[in-house]
Structure 1
Amino acid sequence: MVRLDKKATRLYVLDTNVLIHDPTALYHFDEHDVVIPMTVLEELDKHKNGIREIARTARQISRTLSDLTNQVTFDEIQKGIPIPRISGESGRLHFLCYNDLKPFDSLDDSPDNRILAETCRLRDERPDASVILITKDINLRVKAAALKVPVEDYLNDRAFSDSDAMIEGAQVYASAGQDGASLWEALNVEVTVERIGHHTFYQLSGNMPRHWHVGMLVSDSENGAEFEAIVREISPSSARLQLLTNYRHHAGVWGVHAHDSRQNFTLNLLMDPEIDLVTIAGNAGTGKTFMTLAAAFQQTLDAKRFERIVFTRAPIPMGEDIGFLPGTEEE
């Protein structure tokens, strides 16, 4: 394993298969610079024609690179094109082109070997930086390791890595106290308590936290919370919160009781007549389907709020479907 200098500038060289695997990959390296060799551009050009998924992906990458290089001068390209980023320092995009490049004598003249040779050349020219090759190709990673080139797999493709982009659905204030008294004091806001029927509302006035949003859970604990409320209305200077129903012990939904604050929040959302759509994200075994069905039975069979329940599930085949003709529909 090649050790990296943590303080040195990092240059990530992307293999073709990384961009094919994730067309937005060059945006996922934070403040570090990204390098695309000319060999990769040539490989993308070979794949862009056709109607298969790989062709559509190659065309998408080409459009992205075209947008980044549009109205950019040659000097700016030489220095590196800034990669847009929502917050923080942005990295730069570089293109790697060596006219006199020769693959290693012991290796064939193949795209993988040319990319490896380009990476080695860049490593030798930039001793001040940590040059790292990113590839999904296992054999190329083995070759790079044999030549003492830092190499990594591309792992920034979690199922909705977009979970990082999803807004936080809950905020825990450990010192909120009974009825949120300590929280109101800490936020330095004025509070008016209003009770309408079986519901309790808190009208807040003052500077509201910027990360609060409508539909957010505000509680004092992840487990046996004494204070749990949902944000109903929010503005920079005011907010309206509603105290949640406690479905933990005596009250339940079709015999189902919550075990923690988030399950109780979920049951409140599912039972709320003012909310038409609820999407739930969580690990397997946390009760998402179980609570959803319990709320559906409660409101359909007991409360008669709905006439029927429609339950759908995406079919996940064990392998490719067997057809009458060989090949896929596109082929």
Structure 2
Amino acid sequence: MKNILLYLLLFFTPLVYSQNSGGFGNSKNWSLNKHEIYFSIGTSQFLGDLGGLDKEGTQKSLVDLDFSSTRIGGGIGYRYRFHRRWATSTQLYFGMVSGADANTDEVIRRSRNLSFRSPILELSQRIEFIIYSKEQGGARYSRLGTKGRSTTADFFYVFSGISGFYFNPQTKINGSWTNLRPLKTEGQGLPGGQEEYGKFSMAIPMGVGFKFAIGKYWRLGLEISYNKTFTDYIDDVSTDYYDPAILAKSVGKDAVYAANPSIENHTWFTEGQQRGNPDDNDGYLFTNITVTRNITNSKSKGMSRSRWNGRTKF
């Protein structure tokens, strides 16, 4: 994903400056879109140790997306545009992510038979670079025999930033969703086991988006965000299988089952054998339709007709 963003930046930067026309350098039309609120709804997908395509794990990358585990998410945000090319946004987002080995025909994953779901409640702060923008205010009045000009606000942008999020992995045991963290499936906090993990972590969002005007104050768009996290336990899977006898004694039979629900080839999944891949942290992907409302103050909206009808394109 980082390589994709770098490529887009290198490709479009010459285009951006080559299209600087119409007295853009002195234009303030961008300030008519300075303050915005936006709403997002779309899909969320998990990139981790569970599920994936019909082959061995591919370092939790986009090529290993399991589309059958797609879930729904949505959020709300505020965007402040402080420069014609730059904006910053604060977003609160909620989504579900999930993964299941049963969705793949790769023999090792399928036999392992692990599964999970987890809510993701994320608060992010992003910086956006506007690669392309065409901005033109609609005419206030339609004269006799003429048609008023419609509002144009087309944007293409890339973004990154930092986010903090809450997660809580669960799996089904006897038909009921059960929290996995208290079950210590990899011996978290037990003798010879892994360190306990928390329910909060950080991530780096990276993505692209575009939007266009559907009215004087409204914009419709699409945004894709890949979120690289600093935890490998969104799915409760990271390292090796723990001693089931200690799990049974210290936690209980549900922990034994959740740690190793393998359905075949049981000798592959015993104490000390690999359960997950700790060399690469989990990630998740949001793909959203966005609806944006321009809330720039009335002073800006009341600028002279000549300026509002002016044009900015770059």
TM-score range, shorter chain: under 0.3
The structure carrying a bigger strand percent of its residues is 2
The structure carrying a bigger helix percent of its residues is 1
Higher relative contact order (CA 8 A, sep 6+): 2
TM-score norm. by structure 2 comes to 0.20
Which protein shows a greater Rg? 1
